[in-house]
Amino acid sequence: MANAAATPETRSVRLLKVGEQVRHVLSELLARQEVHDDVLTSHTLSVTEVRMSPDLRHATVFIKALLGENEASVLKALRTNTAYFQKEVAGRLKLRFAAKLKFLPDESFDEASRIEGLLANPKVQRDLGED
């Protein structure tokens, strides 16, 4: 039987806590511009979510650049500096294993905007208004 996709309800509290700690460390590193990369220092980034694997060895980091500009170059810079981020996260959290970080763009804001646009459509409003 295949495993269902992990949702916040099915993930353990420990995974959520560790993911949140990793998110805080990465956010702090980016906010203080501790990474010596011109692309990362010239953009304002938000770490929106970190999802940990059940064994805490892998972390998927969702990033959103302010106004979504130059997202490809920002992701490339993050992936170039992955070793630095992994070392800092492992050192600050003192976990048994240094989690391998995987940076992905956060598409949830774009999806929410698309849904808002659909709901604002007059045809949909007409259907929603009738009970």
Contacts 24+ apart (CB under 8 A), 51-56: 51/6, 51/11, 51/15, 51/19, 52/15, 52/18, 52/19, 52/22, 52/99, 54/12, 54/15, 55/97, 56/15, 56/18, 56/95, 56/96, 56/97, 56/99
Judged by DSSP in three states, 10 sits in coil
Tens of pLDDT, residue by residue over 58-109, are 999 999 887 767 788 889 999 999 999 999 999 998 877 888 999 998 876 6
Q: What domains, with CATH codes, occur in the chain?
A: 13-106 (3.30.300.20)
Tens of pLDDT, residue by residue over 24-46, are 999 999 989 888 888 888 888 88
CA distances from 74 to 37, 96, 105 (A): 10, 29, 10
pTM over 0.85: no
